[in-house]
Amino acid sequence: MDHAAIRAQLRALVSVHVPRNVRRFKFRIFDGKPQTSALGFHVDPEPFEGKVVARTSDIIVIQTGRADFAVVDRGLATTEPDEGARVLVKPYARRRFDGLRADTPEVHTQFMSDGRPYTVKKMILGSAPAKLPIPEPRCPELRDLIRQLEELPAPDGFRRITHLLVDAGARDFTWVDPLPADIIRTPPAIGFTVSTAKFEGRVTILYDRAGDVYAVELHRGDERVERVDEVYFDTLGTTLECLIDDGRWQSIQVEVLAGTRKRTRH
């Protein structure tokens, strides 16, 4: 979306909805691009409610406060509410494998010197980890693969590779954690099932010790339908995106609240 063009037309679209004694209004644009905090960190926006006050061929304008507005990319909205409708909007937010938002603080129980427990919540600014549901491995190469999936960026630059897997519905994880002597006979691997418009079935990432690279296999049932060899650690994200990411994660969920009308996008 052309943000400069939106800014140029927005005053005319919202002026009638801004109180006369208010000289300025604020707005945020939701168009699938990452939101950034004042400190420069990528952040996951919270859901919000508001009233649809204007629509164009490209955008839906929602009033969220007295002089606050949200501009939603019409092409990403899951429904097209009529003007005047009250809506609940859920922009994309990175998530963990347990379904919680990835920016949910980590909760730990610690104990005082007298044994009494207390709860500590920890959150690192700008961090939104999605840890794989795999225990600490004994194999260094499997440990490296887990770290790379959790820490390396997906091609969009906002998500990590594990966020990409969450968005693909990755579940039913399995792993091969060999002893050093067995690393060639039983190579380290991580497998999981995904379900997207691009691929539905089993994905396996295998480590090739001879070439110090990975291979990615796709299976439907007992049939191997594709294998990509010579995948280097820095192309893991691109390879997985090409194979399983259908882009639907970018959709902006727009729910029309009771008493108003909507048109569902097919």
Q: Residue 125: what pLDDT?
A: 65
Parallel, antiparallel or unpaired: strands 26-30 and 68-73: parallel
- Contact residues for 165 (Cβ-Cβ < 8 A; gap 6+): 97, 130, 149, 192, 194, 240
CA 218, 162, 32, 46 dihedral sign is positive
Q: How confident is the model at residue 124 (pLDDT cuts 50, 70, 90)?
A: low
| Mean per-residue pLDDT of the chain | 91
Model-level pTM?
0.87
Q: Residue 52: what pLDDT?
A: 96
What is the residue extent of each domain of the chain?
Answer: 3-92+251-264, 130-248
